[in-house]
Amino acid sequence: MKGLKKKRRIQIIALAFVALAGSTALIGYAMRDGINFFRSPTQVVEAPPPDTEVFRIGGLVEKGSLVRGQGETVTFRVTDTNATVPVSFTGVLPDLFAEDAGMVGTGRLVGGVFEASEILAKHDETYMPKEVVDALKEQGVFQHGEDRPQG
């Protein structure tokens, strides 16, 4: 009888391990498209990602670059003051989207143009996305007060 209990216990532990490994694999598989890496314009220019990769780009909307096309298409350039990437977006921009303001976009780089599927803008005068602040600090051009809380 003791041998049977020990055998059953080992089977349950093995089954639990297989179930845990299987659920971990399924979670990883489900999240593979949900992870978007952040890149600054300099990183995009230096090492362009493949056309199929969805990523986030952030920086400042370059002054004088905002062009509203026909319909809902908008083009502009995003910069970290070191490099500039052209952006194309079809949709409604956030109310606080403006030139010389921080933004983060999600999309793909196609033919040298970032085709954004989503655009996020700062929500007040003092906020800038953490990724944008970090990228600007890396370039040595961060202009807002260093002591203000970000993101």
Average pLDDT, the chain: 82
Distances (CA, A) of 108 to 60, 77, 105, 126, 151: 18, 15, 10, 28, 24
Cβ-based neighbours of 31, under 8 Å, separated by 6 or more: none
Percent residues over pLDDT 70 in the chain = 82
pLDDT value, residue 129: 63
E strand residue ranges, 1-151: 37-39, 55-61, 67-68, 73-79, 84-90, 102-110, 113-121
Res 142: pLDDT: 63
Q: What is the pLDDT of residue 127?
A: 58
**Could you tell me the two tokens for 8?**
């059953």
For the chain, domain boundaries: 1-35, 37-139
Task: Give the pLDDT of residue 3.
Answer: 81
Specify the residue for token string 């109310």.
95
Percent of the chain with pLDDT over 90: 28
Question: What residues are designated binding site?
Answer: 123, 127
Distance separating alpha carbons of residues 65 and 76, to the nearest angstrom: 5
pTM of the complete model: 0.62
Question: Per the annotation, where are the binding residues for heme?
Answer: 123, 127
> Per-residue pLDDT tens for 11-23?
999 999 999 999 9
| Beta carbons of 103 and 66 less than 8 angstroms apart | no
Tell me what the mean pLDDT of segment 99-109 comes to: 89
Q: What is the pLDDT of residues 34-87, one digit of tens each?
A: 666 788 898 899 988 888 888 899 888 998 888 887 778 899 999 988 899 999
Query: Tell me, what's the pLDDT at 91?
Result: 87
Contact 45, 83 (CB under 8 A): yes
CATH number attached to the domain at 37-139: 2.40.50.140
Strands 55-61 and 37-39: parallel
Higher pLDDT, 144 or 119: 119
Q: Which pLDDT does position 146 carry in this prediction?
A: 45
How high is the pLDDT of residue 66?
87
